[in-house]
Amino acid sequence: MATLLYRLGRASFRRRGRVIALWLLLLALLGAGAAAFSGETSDDFTMPGTESQDALDALERDFPQAAGAAGTVVVAAPEGAALDQEMLAPLVRDAAAIPGVVAATDPFTTGAVSEDGRHALIHVQFDRAAEDLSAAQTEAFERVGAEAQGLRVEHSSEALSEEGVHMGATEVVGVLVAAVVLVVTFGSLVAAGMTLLNALVGVGAGMAGLFALSGAVELTSTAPVLALMLGLAVGIDYSLFLTSRYRQYLTEGMDPEEAVGRATGTAGSAVVFAGATVVIALGGLSVVGIPFLSVMGLAAAGTVAVAVLVALTLLPAVLGLVGHRVLPRRLRSGRSAGRPVTEGAGFGWGRLVTRLRVPVLLVGVLGLGLLALPVQDMRLALPDASTAAEDSPERRAYDLVAEGFGPGHNGRLVAVVTADSPEATQEAAQRAMAAIEGTEGVAAVTPPQANAQGTTALLDITPVTGPSDAATEDTVRAVRDRISGIEGADFALTGTTAVAIDVSGKLADALPVYLLLVVGLSVLLLMLVFRSVLVPLKAAAGFLLTVGATFGITVAVFQQGHLADLVGLDTTGPLISFLPILLIGILFGLAMDYEVFLVSRMREDHVHGADPQQATVNGVGHNSRVVTAAAVIMIAVFAGFIFMDDPVIKSIGFALAVGVLIDALIVRLTLVPAAMSLLGRAAWWLPRPLDRALPDLDIEGERLQHRLAAAAAAPEKEHARL
């Protein structure tokens, strides 16, 4: 691999004009495609194969008038006053007059008025799904009650306009921090600007390609944000690693073309491996069998893959333009070539950690274990209006409904009864209604509503508790148990709340399988890279510590509310259902990224005769600066998403920032060298049969070094081969 990448780097260097032109042309074409073919994103988290989703699909076929989007106009009178039918009649008429509305209910007819008479609910039923409503329809719905005098009117649920997730100034702050870190790391504005620009081209191409496909592939609103978040972070990091190695070779006296080839062949091999692990982990989300999660994973994986290609081709071409200007002025004269490298703080840290390896391991493992304790209380759910920003329309409507009717009215359930004849359907629906009324946690059940053929009936169920409450999950299970034993008809429980509970349950069941898949993959890949048994096991153990501590801190902040004000969190609640699986996939790739860059230098020095202790110190000393800079950049980019209003993106950005902080600075730069020092020579043990069976990927470029040495001895023959 190293030899192939060496050739690729030199070829990009020599043909830099064409390579840069091709990338700019590709970026322009993808941008034009995005402008011409991009589609809308959605917040539709469906789960084929679950009872609730199958019931919704059946309703769309057998009861289409009940399968369209539903909205609610929530009306409240001033304190001490009460509503009457005359006050609400204009609002009901306006709602019924909206194109596509098949029904707008009078609260005084349906009984949707609170006991004190201050609150009322006007239920609005559209003839099509939310994603099929026009902008004019949703705007008309949001204008209902706009001219009502003395009344508070809010609007909720599916009929609201889909605004998606918008980028803000906070993400720019992350990029600015990354720029500052690059300037400090390189000591050169040219090197910092070139690295950042290279990453922006990569993420721009990846995002443009994603939006160009969004017209044909349905994207959730979080998919582009996740792709941007990851593509920007890894793009900067991969360019940082390659540029750092290029600068090292320049200071050793190599000419720019040879330095580019060597950097691409050595650091580029690690970039390919690191990028491949991220892509495999994200692509592996498809194995879970959840469509919206598969799209999110593949979208982010595609952006990361583009970042790798940009780092391996565009960066060498750009380095061909800037040459020695990536170095600080004091190093450009070449007088530093051959001088001994001054040991930095990384060597001192490496010696300290290896000398105190046992206490460091004990404190580190116990500390991360304590941080992971809140995981035992972790709850998963899909987002609902209860955790939305306090000033958002959906949150205001949610709070107003809860104030007047109780939280359960925000998460009503629907029991679907289907039989062969109208008589059988009606009889089964009445028996189901009687059974549900006596179920603990159910506040009310409406009489059955049948379709035109009479073969499908709906029962509207109002739970006592809110959609994301743990008690509501118990209510859903209890209702399903009650109606499953009724003979003569088919029963299914659905509705937004039931769908969310089913999705969360399936994701929770898939989490252990996915974790096992990722950990097993990490052991196998690292065994191929380092030709060792204990190094991969140690890396996997460190990854588990990272994941546990990250989950624990995220639960403590977003679910339990500790330090919630620091991240601008209005309301605590369960974590988004797909966060654990998503976090595992992303952190796995990033953790292996740092592992490769640190441990590959340790192995290289060990192979060349250094004792295990010194090899460990050298690995930390030579790479700690770059790994720390990469981690700070990652943290800055991810942290830029913490202060967005969307609670889902906020939690993802927070968890990723915390995960990178723990993995890079605590696990990889502290626990890994301590463990490697403790293992000594045993760290590189590999059974002979396994050694013969495993392919040699040459990540460190050992074969490339031999070929280059041979080329130096017989330049005409060997150089032609390279």
Question: Which of 407 and 388 is assigned the larger pLDDT?
Answer: 407
Q: Which of 389-393, 661-665, 684-688 has the lowest mean pLDDT?
A: 389-393
Work out the pLDDT band at 698, boundaries 50, 70, 90.
low
Q: Are 493 and 502 in contact (CB under 8 A)?
A: no
**Which class for 115: exposed (0-12), middle (13-18), buried (19 or more C-beta within 10 A)?**
exposed
Work out the pLDDT band at 672, boundaries 50, 70, 90.
very high
Q: What is the C-alpha separation between 26 and 37, in angstroms, rounded?
A: 16
Which structure tokens are listed for 413? 């359930």
* DSSP symbols for 466-505: -TT-HHHHHHHHHHHHHHHT--SSEEEEESHHHHHHHHHH
pLDDT tens, position by position, 238-292: 888 888 888 888 888 888 898 888 888 888 887 888 788 788 878 877 776 777 7
Q: Are 659 and 178 in contact (CB under 8 A)?
A: no
| Contacting residues for 400 by C-beta, under 8 A, at least 6 apart | 74, 76, 119, 152, 154
CA atoms within 13 A on the CB side of 601: 19
pLDDT at 167 over 60: no
The sign of the dihedral angle between the CA atoms of 225, 227, 231, 234 is positive
Work out the pLDDT band at 338, boundaries 50, 70, 90.
very low
pLDDT at 166 over 60: no
- Model pLDDT, residue 65: 64
Which structure tokens are listed for 692? 């013969």
CATH 3.30.70.100 placement within the chain: 67-157
Q: Are 432 and 425 in contact (CB under 8 A)?
A: no
Which structure tokens are listed for 510? 């898939």
pLDDT at 408 over 80: yes
Superfamily of domain 1-37+173-342: Multidrug efflux transporter AcrB transmembrane domain (1.20.1640.10)
Task: Tell me the mean pLDDT in the region 114-131.
Answer: 84
pLDDT at 362 over 90: yes
Q: For tokens 């993106």, what's the residue?
A: 649
State what percent of residues in the chain have pLDDT above 90: 15
pLDDT tens, position by position, 548-594: 999 999 999 999 888 888 888 877 888 888 888 888 877 887 787 78
Question: Which of 364 and 575 is assigned the larger pLDDT?
Answer: 364
- Residue 693's φ and ψ, nearest 5 degrees, are -80, -30
- Model pLDDT, residue 706: 60
Task: Tell me the mean pLDDT in the region 316-321.
Answer: 90
pLDDT at 600 over 70: yes
Work out the pLDDT band at 161, boundaries 50, 70, 90.
very low
pLDDT tens, position by position, 134-147: 888 888 888 888 88
SS (H, E, C) 108-138: HHHCCECCCCCEEEEEEEECCCHHHCCHHHH
Taking Cα atoms as reference points, which of 386, 332, 307 lies closest to residue 572? Answer: 386
Work out the pLDDT band at 368, boundaries 50, 70, 90.
very high
- Model pLDDT, residue 551: 94
Q: What is the C-alpha separation between 595 and 599, in angstroms, rounded?
A: 6
Residue burial 197-225, b: 16+ Cβ < 10 Å; e: rest: ebbbbbbbbbbbbbbbbbeeebbbbbbbb
Residue type, 43: D
State what percent of residues in the chain have pLDDT above 70: 89
Which structure tokens are listed for 612? 């295990």
- Model pLDDT, residue 697: 65
Q: What is the CATH number of domain 413-494?
A: 3.30.70.1320
Q: Please state whether beta strands 456-463 and 449-450 pair in parallel, antiparallel, or not at all (unpaired).
A: antiparallel
Q: Please state whether beta strands 456-463 and 490-494 pair in parallel, antiparallel, or not at all (unpaired).
A: unpaired
CATH 3.30.70.1320 placement within the chain: 413-494
Q: For tokens 């390659």, what's the residue?
A: 242
pLDDT tens, position by position, 20-60: 999 999 989 988 888 887 766 666 666 677 788 778 777 77
- Model pLDDT, residue 663: 93
pLDDT tens, position by position, 61-80: 777 666 677 888 899 999 88
Provide the 10 A C-beta neighbour count for residue 27.
16
Mean pLDDT of the chain: 82
55 DSSP 8-state letter: H
Q: Is pTM, for the whole model, over 0.85?
A: no
- Model pLDDT, residue 43: 61
Q: What is the CATH number of domain 67-157?
A: 3.30.70.100
Taking Cα atoms as reference points, which of 607, 427, 439 lies closest to residue 532? Answer: 607
CATH number for the 346-389+509-686 domain, one of 1.10.150.110, 1.20.1640.10, 1.10.1060.10, 3.50.50.60?
Answer: 1.20.1640.10
Taking Cα atoms as reference points, which of 659, 664, 658, 587 lies closest to residue 623? Answer: 664
- Model pLDDT, residue 660: 92
CATH 1.20.1640.10 placement within the chain: 1-37+173-342, 346-389+509-686
Q: Are 563 and 593 in contact (CB under 8 A)?
A: no
The sign of the dihedral angle between the CA atoms of 13, 209, 240, 541 is negative
Residue type, 85: Q
